[in-house]
Amino acid sequence: MTLGTRCANANHVFFIVFAIVCLCRDGITAARSLESGEQMIDWAMLLPDDQGKDVVLSSCTTCHGLDLIVTKQRSKESWLTVVGSMTGEYQADIPDKDVDVIVDYLGRYAGENNPVTAVPMDVNRASADALKRLRFLSGENIQDIVERRSKNEFRSIDELRQFLRLDQSKFDLATTYLQCGK
Ligand code: HEC
Protein backbone atom coordinates (compact mmCIF):
# COMPACT_ATOMS: atom_id res chain seq x y z
CA MET A 1 0.00 0.00 0.00
CA THR A 2 1.40 3.41 -0.92
CA LEU A 3 1.36 6.26 1.50
CA GLY A 4 -1.31 7.96 -0.69
CA THR A 5 -3.89 5.17 -0.34
CA ARG A 6 -3.19 4.79 3.34
CA CYS A 7 -3.99 8.45 3.84
CA ALA A 8 -7.12 8.09 1.70
CA ASN A 9 -8.21 5.13 3.83
CA ALA A 10 -7.49 7.04 7.01
CA ASN A 11 -9.63 9.86 5.64
CA HIS A 12 -12.43 7.42 4.90
CA VAL A 13 -12.29 5.99 8.40
CA PHE A 14 -12.25 9.47 9.86
CA PHE A 15 -15.24 10.47 7.75
CA ILE A 16 -17.23 7.37 8.70
CA VAL A 17 -16.51 7.85 12.41
CA PHE A 18 -17.46 11.52 12.09
CA ALA A 19 -20.73 10.60 10.32
CA ILE A 20 -21.59 8.02 12.99
CA VAL A 21 -20.90 10.53 15.77
CA CYS A 22 -23.16 13.07 14.04
CA LEU A 23 -25.95 10.56 13.48
CA CYS A 24 -25.82 9.41 17.11
CA ARG A 25 -25.85 12.95 18.42
CA ASP A 26 -28.87 13.89 16.26
CA GLY A 27 -30.62 10.71 17.31
CA ILE A 28 -30.03 11.44 20.96
CA THR A 29 -31.18 15.07 20.61
CA ALA A 30 -34.34 13.96 18.77
CA ALA A 31 -35.09 11.33 21.39
CA ARG A 32 -34.56 13.85 24.18
CA SER A 33 -36.95 16.44 22.75
CA LEU A 34 -39.57 13.75 22.17
CA GLU A 35 -39.21 12.59 25.75
CA SER A 36 -39.90 15.96 27.33
CA GLY A 37 -42.80 16.72 24.97
CA GLU A 38 -41.16 20.06 24.27
CA GLN A 39 -42.11 21.86 21.09
CA MET A 40 -40.51 24.60 19.06
CA ILE A 41 -42.18 27.98 19.18
CA ASP A 42 -44.15 28.52 15.98
CA TRP A 43 -43.66 32.30 15.64
CA ALA A 44 -45.92 32.48 12.57
CA MET A 45 -48.83 31.18 14.67
CA LEU A 46 -48.43 34.22 16.93
CA LEU A 47 -49.11 36.60 14.04
CA PRO A 48 -52.81 37.12 13.29
CA ASP A 49 -54.13 36.01 9.89
CA ASP A 50 -54.76 39.28 8.12
CA GLN A 51 -53.86 41.04 4.92
CA GLY A 52 -50.09 41.15 4.51
CA LYS A 53 -49.18 38.22 6.70
CA ASP A 54 -48.28 36.06 3.69
CA VAL A 55 -45.95 38.78 2.39
CA VAL A 56 -44.26 39.10 5.78
CA LEU A 57 -43.79 35.33 5.97
CA SER A 58 -42.30 35.09 2.49
CA SER A 59 -40.12 38.24 2.75
CA CYS A 60 -38.86 38.16 6.31
CA THR A 61 -37.99 34.54 7.06
CA THR A 62 -35.25 33.72 4.57
CA CYS A 63 -32.32 35.07 6.63
CA HIS A 64 -33.59 34.86 10.22
CA GLY A 65 -36.57 33.78 12.23
CA LEU A 66 -39.74 35.71 12.99
CA ASP A 67 -38.64 35.73 16.64
CA LEU A 68 -36.80 38.98 15.82
CA ILE A 69 -40.11 40.52 14.80
CA VAL A 70 -43.06 39.11 16.75
CA THR A 71 -42.28 40.57 20.20
CA LYS A 72 -41.21 44.03 19.00
CA GLN A 73 -43.08 47.27 19.71
CA ARG A 74 -42.26 49.55 16.82
CA SER A 75 -44.21 52.30 15.09
CA LYS A 76 -44.90 52.08 11.35
CA GLU A 77 -42.12 54.64 10.77
CA SER A 78 -39.72 52.52 12.75
CA TRP A 79 -40.69 49.39 10.78
CA LEU A 80 -40.10 51.34 7.58
CA THR A 81 -36.57 52.07 8.80
CA VAL A 82 -36.02 48.39 9.69
CA VAL A 83 -37.24 47.17 6.29
CA GLY A 84 -35.03 49.83 4.70
CA SER A 85 -31.98 48.44 6.47
CA MET A 86 -32.90 44.88 5.44
CA THR A 87 -33.02 45.87 1.76
CA GLY A 88 -30.09 48.33 2.04
CA GLU A 89 -27.55 46.80 4.40
CA TYR A 90 -28.45 43.15 3.89
CA GLN A 91 -29.67 43.24 0.28
CA ALA A 92 -33.03 41.64 1.07
CA ASP A 93 -34.87 41.32 -2.23
CA ILE A 94 -38.19 43.01 -1.41
CA PRO A 95 -40.10 44.79 -4.19
CA ASP A 96 -41.25 48.35 -3.38
CA LYS A 97 -44.91 47.38 -3.68
CA ASP A 98 -44.46 44.88 -0.83
CA VAL A 99 -42.75 47.33 1.53
CA ASP A 100 -45.99 49.22 2.31
CA VAL A 101 -47.90 45.99 2.84
CA ILE A 102 -45.23 44.70 5.25
CA VAL A 103 -44.91 47.98 7.16
CA ASP A 104 -48.69 48.22 7.43
CA TYR A 105 -49.02 44.69 8.77
CA LEU A 106 -46.15 45.05 11.25
CA GLY A 107 -47.41 48.44 12.40
CA ARG A 108 -50.71 46.77 13.18
CA TYR A 109 -49.49 43.58 14.88
CA ALA A 110 -45.97 44.40 16.08
CA GLY A 111 -46.76 48.05 16.67
CA GLU A 112 -46.32 50.23 19.73
CA ASN A 113 -49.28 48.48 21.39
CA ASN A 114 -48.17 44.95 20.54
CA PRO A 115 -49.41 42.92 23.52
CA VAL A 116 -46.90 40.14 22.89
CA THR A 117 -43.77 41.23 24.73
CA ALA A 118 -42.21 37.85 25.45
CA VAL A 119 -42.72 34.19 24.64
CA PRO A 120 -43.31 32.08 26.69
CA MET A 121 -45.92 34.44 28.14
CA ASP A 122 -46.50 34.68 31.86
CA VAL A 123 -49.93 33.17 32.40
CA ASN A 124 -50.50 35.44 35.42
CA ARG A 125 -49.43 38.67 33.71
CA ALA A 126 -49.99 38.45 29.94
CA SER A 127 -52.88 40.61 28.77
CA ALA A 128 -56.03 39.01 27.36
CA ASP A 129 -54.99 40.40 23.96
CA ALA A 130 -51.65 38.62 24.20
CA LEU A 131 -53.34 35.36 25.21
CA LYS A 132 -55.62 35.69 22.17
CA ARG A 133 -52.55 35.14 19.97
CA LEU A 134 -52.38 31.60 21.38
CA ARG A 135 -54.83 29.93 19.07
CA PHE A 136 -55.13 26.77 21.11
CA LEU A 137 -56.91 28.77 23.85
CA SER A 138 -60.60 29.47 23.25
CA GLY A 139 -62.18 32.82 24.08
CA GLU A 140 -63.82 31.12 27.02
CA ASN A 141 -60.45 29.73 28.18
CA ILE A 142 -59.01 33.25 28.18
CA GLN A 143 -61.94 34.70 30.13
CA ASP A 144 -61.60 31.91 32.68
CA ILE A 145 -57.85 32.50 33.05
CA VAL A 146 -58.26 36.25 33.57
CA GLU A 147 -61.01 35.79 36.12
CA ARG A 148 -59.26 33.05 38.05
CA ARG A 149 -55.82 34.72 38.24
CA SER A 150 -57.32 37.95 39.60
CA LYS A 151 -58.33 36.01 42.70
CA ASN A 152 -55.78 33.27 42.76
CA GLU A 153 -52.69 33.20 40.56
CA PHE A 154 -51.64 29.99 38.85
CA ARG A 155 -48.71 28.29 40.50
CA SER A 156 -47.89 26.01 37.58
CA ILE A 157 -48.92 25.18 34.03
CA ASP A 158 -50.08 21.85 35.38
CA GLU A 159 -52.53 23.75 37.56
CA LEU A 160 -53.68 25.58 34.42
CA ARG A 161 -54.13 22.23 32.69
CA GLN A 162 -56.36 20.97 35.48
CA PHE A 163 -58.29 24.23 35.69
CA LEU A 164 -59.04 24.35 31.93
CA ARG A 165 -59.16 20.55 31.56
CA LEU A 166 -56.66 20.72 28.69
CA ASP A 167 -56.03 17.55 26.72
CA GLN A 168 -52.46 16.32 26.23
CA SER A 169 -51.82 18.17 22.96
CA LYS A 170 -53.08 21.49 24.33
CA PHE A 171 -51.11 20.92 27.52
CA ASP A 172 -47.96 20.42 25.40
CA LEU A 173 -48.71 23.71 23.63
CA ALA A 174 -49.37 25.43 26.96
CA THR A 175 -45.98 24.34 28.31
CA THR A 176 -44.31 25.76 25.18
CA TYR A 177 -46.05 29.15 25.08
CA LEU A 178 -46.87 29.82 28.74
CA GLN A 179 -44.99 29.92 32.01
CA CYS A 180 -45.70 30.90 35.57
CA GLY A 181 -43.48 33.94 35.92
CA LYS A 182 -40.63 32.36 37.83
C1 HEC B 1 -31.31 39.15 3.16
C2 HEC B 1 -31.44 38.69 4.52
C3 HEC B 1 -32.55 39.32 5.36
C4 HEC B 1 -33.89 39.41 5.05
C5 HEC B 1 -34.62 38.90 3.83
C6 HEC B 1 -34.51 40.08 6.19
N7 HEC B 1 -33.56 40.33 7.15
FE8 HEC B 1 -33.90 41.17 8.98
N9 HEC B 1 -31.95 40.93 9.47
C10 HEC B 1 -30.97 40.42 8.64
C11 HEC B 1 -29.70 40.44 9.32
C12 HEC B 1 -28.37 39.95 8.74
C13 HEC B 1 -29.94 40.97 10.59
C14 HEC B 1 -28.93 41.25 11.71
C15 HEC B 1 -28.47 39.99 12.35
C16 HEC B 1 -29.42 39.48 13.36
O17 HEC B 1 -29.82 40.25 14.25
O18 HEC B 1 -29.73 38.26 13.28
C19 HEC B 1 -31.36 41.25 10.67
C20 HEC B 1 -32.01 41.75 11.79
C21 HEC B 1 -33.35 42.08 11.86
C22 HEC B 1 -34.01 42.66 12.99
C23 HEC B 1 -33.35 42.92 14.36
C24 HEC B 1 -32.63 44.20 14.35
C25 HEC B 1 -33.44 45.33 14.90
O26 HEC B 1 -33.13 46.49 14.54
O27 HEC B 1 -34.35 45.12 15.73
C28 HEC B 1 -35.31 42.88 12.66
C29 HEC B 1 -36.38 43.49 13.53
C30 HEC B 1 -35.46 42.42 11.29
N31 HEC B 1 -34.25 41.94 10.83
C32 HEC B 1 -36.63 42.49 10.58
C33 HEC B 1 -36.80 42.03 9.28
C34 HEC B 1 -38.03 42.15 8.53
C35 HEC B 1 -39.31 42.82 9.03
C36 HEC B 1 -37.82 41.55 7.33
C37 HEC B 1 -38.78 41.43 6.17
C38 HEC B 1 -39.22 42.67 5.60
C39 HEC B 1 -36.43 41.07 7.32
N40 HEC B 1 -35.85 41.38 8.52
C41 HEC B 1 -35.84 40.39 6.26
C42 HEC B 1 -31.15 39.97 7.35
C43 HEC B 1 -32.35 39.89 6.67
| pLDDT (tens digit per residue) in 33-74 | 444 456 799 999 999 999 999 999 999 999 999 999 999 999
Question: What pLDDT was estimated at residue 9?
Answer: 56
Q: Which of 72, 81, 90, 104 to mutate to test the pocket of ligand 1 (most atoms within 8 A of CB)?
A: 90
* Ligand 1 atom 33 nearest Cα: 60
**Those residues with Cβ within 8 angstroms of residue 178's Cβ, 6 or more apart along the chain or in another chain:** 120, 121, 122, 123, 126, 134, 157, 160
At 122, which helix (H) or strand (E)? strand 121-122
Residue 141 has pLDDT above 50, yes or no: yes
**Lining residues, ligand 1, CB within 6 Å:** 59-60, 62-64, 68-69, 72, 82-83, 86, 90-92, 94, 102
Question: What pLDDT was estimated at residue 5?
Answer: 47
Residue 119 has pLDDT above 60, yes or no: yes
Residue whose C-alpha is closest to residue 182's, from 159, 150, 164, 155: 155
From ligand 1's centre to the CA of 71, what distance in Å? 14
* Ligand 1 atom 12 nearest Cα: 90
Question: What pLDDT was estimated at residue 10?
Answer: 55
Question: What pLDDT was estimated at residue 39?
Answer: 79
> Max CA-CA distance within the chain?
81
From ligand 1's centre to the CA of 118, what distance in Å? 18
What residue type is assigned to position 62 of the chain? T
From ligand 1's centre to the CA of 55, what distance in Å? 15
pLDDT range class, residue 93, cuts 50, 70, 90? very high
Q: Which atom of ligand 1 is nearest to the CA of 91?
A: 1
pTM > 0.85: no
From ligand 1's centre to the CA of 64, what distance in Å? 7
24 φ, ψ (degrees, to nearest 5): -60, -45
